[in-house]
Structures are given as structure tokens and as C-alpha cells.
A and B are shown apart, each in its own frame.
Chain A
């Protein structure tokens, strides 16, 4: 118990992997063995979720910048540490991950038929990679987790995916790899600068925050480093025009893969921006702010337009991801508390609503083995409960007030308005287009006469599927009605983020807009002094 208290993050990160490795010992040759194994895995992810709730409970909103810090020397020669810590932003992303994981696993109980053992093991490995990336405070460690996620995701898409799975898996892997390798060079450069400036080796993020690199122009060293980081994260987000891997990967991936991809993996792009790209290179952020807001706005509108004409439901949802993640980008680059808070919130929302949509599409695909919108129609008549849940998730996705989506998008647009009214207007049209494609899809699938005889036989949600969707529906309303509970925990972290990321030399904004948010707290307070 003592160990658990002192190593809460290590426990949360590595428990899924350890659980998975032990699970490999369960014989799965018989049908009952497989059933036991699946429930075992589900139970393990529930335990992880419980542990993360313990963490939520112990998290002190106005405490140290990073909490539950664990530090251990790893490669002393290069100052590399095993350094974990949690702040208000990563807190929610961790909860999102541990929350989605049991849902995903329960959702895959019947859809995955071949090589089940490997499937669930890879999901658990993936969870360890994702959780680790969210809490790693050492760039080297972060990079290890960041790449570690790639392997299981690649295999999940490539083995259990659809017809074009190999192409999609390859594309996913190579896109991500190119981005992250350039980021790796930037990490080298940064670590080297730290060594030159301070004389000791370190890749701890709080140490690297202190490194100032010459910036101020479009191609100054700082700007290039920023671009290297931003490229890796923008590919992950994915930001237009680097999004082309996403529709392929989403459509080909098995349902579980799509949910995790949309729900968590894409968030790592946004998280990386918050934790690394912005605070490390504030001047470059100011330099490129409008470029990225512009790209984000394009992504919103472009994603929505392309989604509108998709005949395939899953592809539609995939393009809606491009659009929704565009909001995250413009919110972050608006560089004010409202926009950034909205962005973080939008990341959580998107995880829940898009994850839910993928699950629902997966459920109907299991019944009909098609995802073409034109193959459906009048589904409300045979699957009333399904239709209701679908409606709720759809409305959350189009940001209806009262659902979580509204809060996030509203805040982002508000924040963006302060930075650039023009782009806020453009992004605002995305909300309308979003409603158009989602509701139109809903109408074509759910309403009207049943034109295909096969659809008359469809069964409504089973108990298992109800259990899968219920937590998501609850989360949608809870986050829509009580956003303050979430905001409060992340507020100090967002303030610290802004105080680091807003470059002082270039005064572009009304200082008063956020000055009242900047508390007098010492931003370098925290683990920087503890070692």
C-alpha cells in the first residue's frame, strides 16, 4: 500500500501492461477460456480506472505544479530520468484514457473474433503507452512512450482492420514516424543547448523550459525547433494538410482501434503542443500563431465539407474528427485562458462523442456488415433505443447546448475572437456545417421508410451494448451541465501554461485580458527545485 501511495503514476501507467502480461498465461484454447480472458482484461482496465479516480481524488487543484512526481535516474550520463508528474491538463486526459478503455474492451467482446488474446494484449500495451506519454516529464521518456504507442496501434489496424488495412497501417506509422523523428532531432538540439548553457545534461522538461533559444524571425533556430515539434504534434492531431492518414486509419481500424485513435491518440497531439511545443518556444508560437489558427480554421471548414459528402458513416465520423480537432488547434493558438481551457475541454469532448459515434457505427456494422449511409433508413422503427443514443451522441458532436460539445466549442470561439475575429467567424461557420452533416446523416440513417428488407430484422441494443453506451451518455450530460468541476482542476495549469507560452517581447494583445488570471505563484515552483 505504501508503494502504491508513493508510485501512483507508475502504478497507473504500468498496471495495464503487467496485467496484460500475466493475462497471457490464461489458456484461451476453449470458448470458456476466451470468455474468462476477456472478463479478466475488462476487470483490469476497470481497476486502472479506479486507480485513476483515486488520483483524481488526491489531486490538489492549487497544489504544486506537478503532483505525484516520481523521479529516478535512468541514463545518468545524459541526464535522462524516469520522471513522471501530473498537472491539471494531463489529469483529465489520463481519466479520459482510463475511462474509455473498459468501454472499448467491452465494446469489442463480440466484434473481434480472430486472435483475441493478442488483440486485448495490444490494447493494454497501447494503454500503457498512452498513459505514459501523458505523464512523462522527461523528453526522452516522453519520446519512448510516444513511439511505444505506435507499435500496438499499427498492429491493431494492420491485423484486425478492414480490406485496406495494410495500406492504412503503413501510412499511419510512416506519417507519425517522420514527424517524430524530426522532433527527435529538435530534442537533441534542445538538450545540447541546455548543456551549453547550464553545463549539465538534462532532458527534464522543467529544465528545458529555462533554455532560451534565439528566435524572432520565421527561420530563427527557435522557429525551426518549434516547427519540428509542431510537425510531430500536428500530424498526430491531425492538422490540415497533414490529416490524410486519419481517414484511412480510422476507416480501416477495428472499432476499438478507431475509438482509441480518435479518443486518445489524437489528444496526444494537442497535449504535446501544451506541454512541449508552446512553453518551450514562446517566441516562435507568437511568430506562427496566425498560420496555425488559419490552418485550424481551414481544417474545421474543410473537414466539415468533406464529411458532408461521405457515403460511408465511419469515414464521415473520421472527417468530423479533422474538423473537431481543428477547434483544438485554434483554441490553443488563441493564447488566452478561455481559448486554451476550451481546447482542453474540446479534447475531452471529442474523445467521448467521437468515441461514442465510432462505437455506434461499429454496433450497426456488426449487424449489417455495411456502413454505407444509403443502405439504411428508418432504423428508428426497429432500433428505437439505438436511435436515441445515437441522437444524444450526435447532438453532443454538433455542440448542442446542454451537452459537452457546446461548452468546448463556445469557449474556443470566444477565445479565438479575441485573437482574430476573422478566423473566429470562419471557424464559427464550421459549427453550422457540423450540424448539417451530422444531422443529415442522422436523418438519412434513422428516419424515413425502411427501404432495405434486411433492416427489418435488426435487433436493438443488447445489455452489453447498453452498458457500453451508458457511461458515455452520462459523461456527455455531466460535462455539458457541470463544466466548472472540470475547469477548476485545470485552471492553475492553464494559467501556468499561458505564462510560459506568451512571449513577452512581442506584445500583441491586450494585456488586461489575461493579467487577472496570472496568479502570483512562482511558475517554476514544483519539481524543478526538488532535485
Chain B
């Protein structure tokens, strides 16, 4: 706390390296602020101004992140934030998911007659929150970033103002999310009380050195973990998820399953590592935490997959499948607690999952009719004959989600489970692959309807905007590319965790 009492000049200025590291954040911030101004311009159609501004700023942010990819980690603001390769890796992912959400939502918002410029602005701010979250090394910054992201997403979920389901989803998410934030904040407070620091690296030092962890620390650690488990929606903290995913506008659901989940998970890894998990945490706590994650992984995979079997609504089905995929990611986390933690496979999985799931949701956006009609399995009957390309794209995503080679989903699973076997989690992996065998059934059912049933009357808008086409084609190519030539992605993930 002494640092607050005396003014250190180095805290008030930024070196040029620090400025470079901050550029992506600056672009996003500038884009968002300009977009707010642009949205009130009377002379032009605000949706175009905002759309162009948000895409442009995201593009600039991506370029500036890309240019600094190899740079060493840079601490910012007295060690409250860090821009390292892990951050950069995450940032690229979040920005990309934000851009794709905006692209995919353009026609959708027109159709639903809710094309307010705020949509794109909220997406920008949410991405901004994610970027801050993954780069925070301080529990307060972490919490603020977390809230920036969450608040934007609460609003996005309820974006269909006149829709009852949308409202229900938004309120439900807001209340439960608020509770989770409170739990997490309480955990942060306890950690501060136990360690006397909010800084993650100092907390790590305490956790590793202190042979006798205080009960306060243990409680704080658990509460933090529970808060994150809620955000990533593992069983038993998953109750909110299917309703929210179903009620939210389809592109937003896509955004939540990719950007938001990746951000929450990536930050979760940073935080749980700083609590000493798998890094010399006191043994009893380490064992407990590992076992808990192990059990949660199993329950999450099982429940997600089994409930998904019974779903008739595609959006809801993908929501449950998303729970199941969280379970697979938890396998990676459980494995990380054993032996030498290596989370690169988790990162590859996050990227693969983000790509294929984003693709699936963008495709769903195109398939749906007004008010998200036409997302029941029955409505897909014979889709392959009416809309062959969209069906093909969906088929690729579905095979990828099911983990069939040569797609990104297979590579993700391969690396993740291989890593887990290397850490000695063979039993867990056996359970995981059996669960993914269950998942094959409901994923393939989508194909059954699209390809094997007789055609039905078309539902919904058959026009497809250029933006969506570009976005979906991009996702298809990436899904296959990761499946066939994954080496570059693996190396990138390895580089990303090197500073963790």
C-alpha cells in the first residue's frame, strides 16, 4: 500500500514498448468511443457508420496485436496488467470472435428489426473487457474487466426487447451472473486478506512458499474457482446456460460460446495457476482441487451430452453440447494439475471450439426465420437440397464438433486427450471419449435431417448477406485447415503458454 502514498514518476508515464503493447486496447477503445459518437449522427445511417467503425477498429487492433506477437512480456501500470504472448493469443481470438459476431449479425438484426447501432458498440466493449481480463494480473482489474464484459453481454442477451424469451434470458443471466460475480469478489477479498496482496504473482508466491495455508486463503481460492466455474458453466453451475443460449439472439449465443467462454477459460487458467494449482500448491489442497475438477469434468461431460440427446431445438442442443465441451476442457484442467502443467492443448481446443462453434451459430443464424423460428430439427428436413452450401458448411461444423477427422475438432480432442493421458489421466480420458461417442448421436442427427429426410417447406429468409457468406466460408476453411495442417496452431499455443 506504500505505493499509493508516494508518487512514482514511472507510474505516470509509459515507455514506447508499453505504448506498443497497449495499442490494441487503444484501437478498441477508440473504435468504441467513435462508434458511440457515430451512432448519434443524423446525416448517415448509423448502423453502417458503427458497423464500419467497429470492423475497422477491430482490424487495426488485430494488426497491432499480430505485429507484437514475438515480443517479450511487458508489465503495465505497476504490474497490474501484463501483455505477454498468452494475452496476445487470447486477444486475437476475442477480437476475431467479436468481428465475426458483428458480421454474422448484420442481416439478422435487420430481419429482426432491431438493428440498433448499440449492438456493435456493445460487442466492442465486451471484447475490450475480455482483452483486459486476460491481461490482468491484479484481482481488482480482473474483476472490473470481468464486469465490463459481463454487463455488455447481459445487454446483448436481452437485445430482442420485445421477445419474452430474450427478456427472461437476460434477467436470469443478470441475476445469476451477478451472484457469481459476488462470490468471486468475496473470494478476491479473502485472498487479499490472507496474502496481503491483490497481485497474482504475489499470491502465487504466498501459495507456494507458505507451507501452512490459512483457512482464509483456502476459502478465498475456492470461491474464486467457483466464480469461474459458473462463468464457464460447468455442472452444477450450468443451469442458467441453456435458457440464456436459447433466448439470446443467435449471433450473440455464438459470441457467448466462443469469445466469452474462451475469455473466461483462459483467465481461469491464469488465476488457478496463480493460486498454485499444479505449481506447488500445498498438497492437500492441490489434491482436493484436482479431484473436484476431475469429478466436475466427468459430471459436466456426462450431463451435457446426455441432455443434449433429448433436445429438439437446435440452439438448445448446441447449448448443452457447449456444456459438454466445457467438460472436455475441464479434462485439460484436471490434467494440468498433474505432472508438468501444459495448457497448450487447452488453448488449441479453445481455438478449434471457437471456430467450429462460431461457424455453427452463424450458420444457424442463416437457417432461422423471424423470431428464431425454424430452429427445430424438423425444420431442417431436406435442407441439403434447398440450400446445399449452407448444409455443407453445417455438416463440416457438426463433424468437427463430433470430433471426426480431418477437422479442427478432432485435432483439439486429440491434443487435449493425449495431454491428459500423458499426465496419467487415462481413466478420465476413457470416460471423455465415451462421452464424445454419445455426442456423435445428436450431432449426426442434424445431418440426418439435413441430408436424409425429404425436403420440407422453406422457413425463413432465404437471402444470405455477403458478410455472413464470407464469415462462414472463412470458418469452414479454418476448420479444415486446423484439421489438416495443425502444426502452426500447436506451435502458436506452445508459444502462448511459455510466459504463463
Contacts and interface: CB of A to CB of B under 8 A. Distances in A.
A259 B451 CA distance: 22
Interface string A18-38: 000000000000000000000
B404 A184 contact: no
Nearest to B404: A147
Given A77-B490, A192-B422, A182 B404 contact: no
Interface string B396-414: 0001000011100010001
Interface stretch (A173-181, A297-305, A495-503): A173-181
Contacts of B444: 154, 170, 173
B33 interface: no
A195 interface: yes
Contacts of A75: 486-487, 490
Contacts of B440: 173-174, 177
A435 B410 CA distance: 45
B347 interface: no
Size bracket of the B interface: 20 to 34
A195 B143 CA distance: 42
Interface centre among A155, A170, A181, A191 (most CB of B within 10 A): A181
Interface string A138-168: 0010011001101100110011000001100
A38 B292 CA distance: 58
Q: Chain A's interface: helix, strand, loop or mixed, by majority?
A: helix
B434 A178 contact: yes
A143 B414 CA distance: 11
Contacts of B414: 140, 184
27 contacts: A74-B487, A75-B486, A76-B487, A78-B418, A140-B414, A143-B405, A144-B410, A147-B404, A148-B405, A151-B399, A151-B404, A158-B451, A166-B453, A169-B448, A169-B452, A174-B437, A177-B440, A181-B434, A181-B436, A184-B414, A184-B417, A184-B433, A188-B418, A191-B418, A192-B418, A192-B422, A195-B422
B469 interface: no
B433 A170 contact: no
Nearest to B437: A178
B226 interface: no
Contacts of A115: 385
B426 A177 contact: no
Given A158-B452, A169-B452, A170-B441, A185 B490 contact: no
B477 interface: no
A192 B452 CA distance: 41
A67 to B, nearest CB: 26
B452 A159 contact: yes
B491 interface: yes
Nearest to A187: B418
B454 to A, nearest CB: 11
B490 A189 contact: no
Nearest to A141: B405
Given A76-B487, A185-B421, A159 B433 contact: no
Contacts of A192: 418, 421-422
B398 to A, nearest CB: 11
Contact of A188 (B429, B452, B486): B429
B45 to A, nearest CB: 40
B437 A166 contact: no
A182 B405 contact: no
A185 B430 CA distance: 7
A150 B434 CA distance: 18
6 cross-chain pairs, A with B, having the tightest CB-CB distances, nearest first = A188-B421, A181-B433, A144-B405, A158-B452, A178-B437, A188-B418
Given A147-B405, A151-B399, A158-B452, 18 more contacts: A77-B491, A78-B415, A147-B410, A148-B406, A158-B448, A159-B452, A170-B441, A170-B444, A177-B437, A177-B440, A178-B437, A181-B433, A182-B434, A184-B414, A185-B429, A188-B418, A188-B426, A189-B426
A144 B451 contact: no
B494 interface: yes
A513 B168 CA distance: 77
